[in-house]
Amino acid sequence: MRRMSWSLSLSLLCLGCAPAQRQAPDAGPSEVVPQRLVARIVHTYPHDPTAFTQGLQFHQGQLYESTGEDGDLRRISLEQAAPLWKQPLPDVFPEGLASDGERLYQLTWQDETLFVWNGATPPVQEKQVAYTGEGWGLCFWRGQLVRSDGTSTLRFHDPKDFHVKSQVEVTSQGVRQERLNELECAEDGVYANVWHANHVLKIDYATGRVLAVIDASELVRVVRGRAPGYEAVLNGIALEPGTGRLFFTGKRWPDLFEVKLEPAATP
């Protein structure tokens, strides 16, 4: 989800190689086997094909998106591709987006700045908070902000000053899961895009264990050929409060999908 020069170099170095994973030191036979799920398309909605999607978030009844590169914060709808409102952020690389119901929290990639927005239609920037490290994905769960930074670690922050309260290593059957990206917090776990993968992980907050692997390749097939470029990958998860509707999209995708999760067919 990074800048083109950095990601292009990575693609040249790792062309055809498997996702980077390391064996966790405490791996053992007792590790839970993740459930296998498939994301099936319920409805397809228009999405701005120029949007470099980094975060997707419902907030006070509205749908917001954080975009990178020449990035911004924007309010979008399911009726049209063009944003209803946007606030450009030209001097930073915006990333993940979270809501606590009152405020929006927007990460930046390497600028080490958290933007805090208050209210809605449109939100007003309330403050900026400095932090250390990279920002990739962000979501809000039970009074804490959960951050990914492209590694296998999820960090839990205090929303008031964004200091780190705790952290957890994400593993699947003892193997660390790297490149965690856009996040969405739900009651049954935190959903995480994996950068340049066609699946989404559902992760246990307390243990970091992967509870489910969600195959989203059907969505990737639908946009193939209409979302060209190495960076036009799956990224963007939003769960609508009250209805439970789940939405996926991707960087520079022309579509935003409402999906339902079904058990994968047994081989």
Print the domain residue range for 72: 29-263
Summarize pLDDT for 20-31 with one digit per residue, the tens.
344 444 444 467
- With respect to residue 251, please indicate whether it lies within any of the assigned structural domains: yes
pLDDT band for 1, please (50, 70, 90 cuts). Answer: very low
User: In Å, what is the CA distance from 153 to each residue of 13, 148, 192?
Assistant: 23, 7, 12
The verdict on residue 20 lying in a domain is no
What is the mean predicted confidence (pLDDT) over 51-57?
A: 98
Q: Please check whether residue 126 lies inside any domain of the structure.
A: yes
CA distances from residue 258 to 46, 147, 181 in whole angstroms, order as listed: 11, 24, 20
Distance CA 142, CA 144 (A): 6
- 189 pLDDT above the threshold of 60: yes
Domain count, the chain: 1
| DSSP character at residue 33 | P
| Structure tokens given for 112 | 């080490």
Residue 221, phi then psi, degrees to nearest 5? -65, -40
Q: pTM for this structure? A: 0.88
Q: Count of CB atoms within 10 A of residue 111's CB?
A: 19
Assess if residue 133 is contained within a domain. yes
Residue 19 lies in a domain: no
Model confidence pLDDT, tens digit, residues 131-171: 999 999 999 999 999 999 999 999 999 999 999 999 999 99
* CATH code of 147's domain: 2.120.10.30
Given this model, what pLDDT does residue 266 score? 78
* Residue 21 in domain: no
